[in-house]
């Protein structure tokens, strides 16, 4: 009767884990943000549904579906949540269901695996010892600016998800608020054939990626923290 949170590939099918395959093969109920892409994934992995439920579970119906799935868990069924790619709940649906499961005394079991934020961070070249993941920025300029202003003095490496169409719009704001010389990285098409890390200052990246020259494919944006330096991890030198 556990609730499994199954991480799935963000581009490269080989990133699926053995454990994820086992859970997706055995869970009584699968709950997916996008049932069509879930079917494609199951078929690519040769995992038959064999009469098991594959239910749509996303922002649009989470309020009704979370209690419905919690009832199934309470009846002793295993439920596995998967998102279109990556780790459920990380800028993806699932939070409400996890709350329901905890309240019902049901075990919540992560099946870890791909996550764009962590993959991007590890190869960005930016400090990794402390980071702040902020997901998608608000679409409304006022709300976005308020959040960015609140983040500009944070020392952690900042991680955002952003659609490629909006990168050209957001980069000049980032350069203005955080400073054009702030080191940053755009991790594009992670784990796919055209995986690229665009490393540079926010000013340089804003000049490269404009509204007319949007990056292609999925992007994760990382920005070095305010006074973060590579040697922050080094022990302090002894004063003589």
For 41-65, letters b (16+ CB in 10 Å) and e give bbeebebeeeebebbebbeeebeeb
Q: Taking the CB of residue 210, how many other CB atoms lie within 10 A of it?
A: 13
Q: Shortest distance, CB of residue 203 to ligand SAM, whole angstroms?
A: 22
Residue nearest to ligand SAM (CB): 86
Out of 220, 222, 225, 228, the only residue in the binding site for ligand SAM (CB under 6 A) is 220
DSSP SS3 for 222: strand
Give 108's DSSP letter.
E
Q: Shortest distance, CB of residue 207 to ligand SAM, whole angstroms?
A: 21
* Cβ proximity to ligand SAM, 85 vs 203, nearer residue: 85
What is each CA distance from 221 to 3, 119, 190, 200, 239, in whole angstroms? Answer: 31, 12, 12, 12, 38
* Cβ proximity to ligand SAM, 136 vs 181, nearer residue: 136
Map the footprint of ligand SAM across residues 106-165, applying CB under 6 A.
115-117, 161-163
Q: Shortest distance, CB of residue 189 to ligand SAM, whole angstroms?
A: 5
For residue 28 the two structure tokens come to 């009584």
Q: Shortest distance, CB of residue 92 to ligand SAM, whole angstroms?
A: 4
Out of 31, 151, 219, 223, the only residue in the binding site for ligand SAM (CB under 6 A) is 219
* Distance between first and last Cα of the chain: 61
Out of 92, 127, 154, 206, the only residue in the binding site for ligand SAM (CB under 6 A) is 92
Map the footprint of ligand SAM across residues 15-74, applying CB under 6 A.
none
Phi-psi region of 178 (alpha: psi -120 to 50; beta: other; left: phi over 0): alpha
Q: Shortest distance, CB of residue 49 to ligand SAM, whole angstroms?
A: 23
Whether the Cβ atoms of residue 29 and residue 69 lie closer than 8 Å to each other: yes
User: Which residues are registered as beta bridge partners of 54?
Assistant: 30
Q: Shortest distance, CB of residue 42 to ligand SAM, whole angstroms?
A: 18
For 99-128, letters b (16+ CB in 10 Å) and e give ebbeeeebebeebebbbbbbbbbeebebbe
Does the protein bind ligand SAM through residue 203 (CB under 6 A)? Answer: no
* Cβ proximity to ligand SAM, 170 vs 219, nearer residue: 219
* Cβ proximity to ligand SAM, 51 vs 109, nearer residue: 109
Residues sharing a CB contact under 8 Å with residue 58, sequence separation 6 or more, in sequence order? 33, 34, 93
Out of 17, 35, 91, 196, the only residue in the binding site for ligand SAM (CB under 6 A) is 91
Does the protein bind ligand SAM through residue 83 (CB under 6 A)? Answer: yes
By CB under 6 A, name the binding residues for ligand SAM.
10-11, 83, 85-87, 90-92, 115-117, 161-163, 187-192, 218-220
């Amino acid at each position: 009767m556990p609730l499994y949170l199954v991480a799935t590939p963000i581009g490269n099918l080989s990133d699926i884990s053995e454990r994820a395959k086992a859970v997706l093969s055995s869970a009584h109920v699968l709950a997916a943000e996008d049932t069509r892409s879930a079917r494609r994934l199951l078929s690519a992995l040769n995992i038959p549904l064999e009469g098991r439920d594959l239910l749509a579970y996303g922002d649009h119906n989470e309020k009704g579906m979370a209690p419905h799935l919690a009832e199934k868990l309470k009846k002793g069924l295993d439920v596995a949540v998967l998102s279109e790619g990556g780790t459920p709940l990380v800028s993806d649906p699932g939070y409400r269901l996890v709350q329901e499961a905890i309240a019902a005394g049901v075990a919540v079991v992560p099946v870890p695996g791909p996550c764009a934020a962590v993959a991007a961070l590890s190869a960005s070249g930016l400090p990794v010892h402390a980071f702040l993941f902020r997901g998608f920025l608000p679409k409304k300029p006022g709300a976005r600016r308020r959040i960015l202003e609140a983040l500009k003095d944070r020392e952690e490496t900042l991680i955002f998800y952003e659609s490629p169409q909006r990168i050209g719009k957001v980069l000049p704001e980032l350069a203005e608020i955080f400073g054009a010389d702030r080191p940053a990285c755009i991790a594009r098409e992670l784990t796919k054939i055209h995986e690229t890390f665009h490393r540079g200052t926010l000013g340089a990246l804003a000049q490269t990626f404009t509204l007319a020259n949007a990056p292609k494919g999925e992007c994760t944006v990382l920005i070095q923290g305010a006074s973060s330096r590579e040697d922050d991890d080094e022990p302090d030198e002894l004063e003589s």
